[in-house]
Amino acid sequence: DVKVTQSSRYLVKRTGEKVFLECVQDMDHENMFWYRQDPGLGLRLIYFSYDVKMKEKGDIPEGYSVSREKKERFSLILESASTNQTSMYLCASSLLDEQYFGPGTRLTVT
Which residues are at the interface with another protein (CB under 8 A)? 4, 31, 33, 35, 40-45, 48, 50, 58-59, 90, 92, 94, 96-99, 101-104
Closest CB to another protein among residues 38, 79: 38
Angle at 89 between CA 83 and CA 95, to 5 degrees: 155
Q: Minimum distance between the CB of residue 18 and another protein, rounded to whole angstroms?
A: 25
Q: Minimum distance between the CB of residue 15 and another protein, rounded to whole angstroms?
A: 27
Amino acid at the residue 80: S
Q: Would you call 72 helix, strand, or coil by DSSP?
A: coil
Q: Would you call 95 helix, strand, or coil by DSSP?
A: coil
What's CA 73's distance to the chain center, in Å? 10
Closest CB to another protein among residues 48, 81: 48
- 7: left (phi > 0), else alpha (psi -120 to 50), else beta? alpha
Q: Minimum distance between the CB of residue 43 and another protein, rounded to whole angstroms?
A: 4
Q: Minimum distance between the CB of residue 14 and another protein, rounded to whole angstroms?
A: 26
Q: Would you call 1 helix, strand, or coil by DSSP?
A: coil
Closest CB to another protein among residues 35, 74: 35
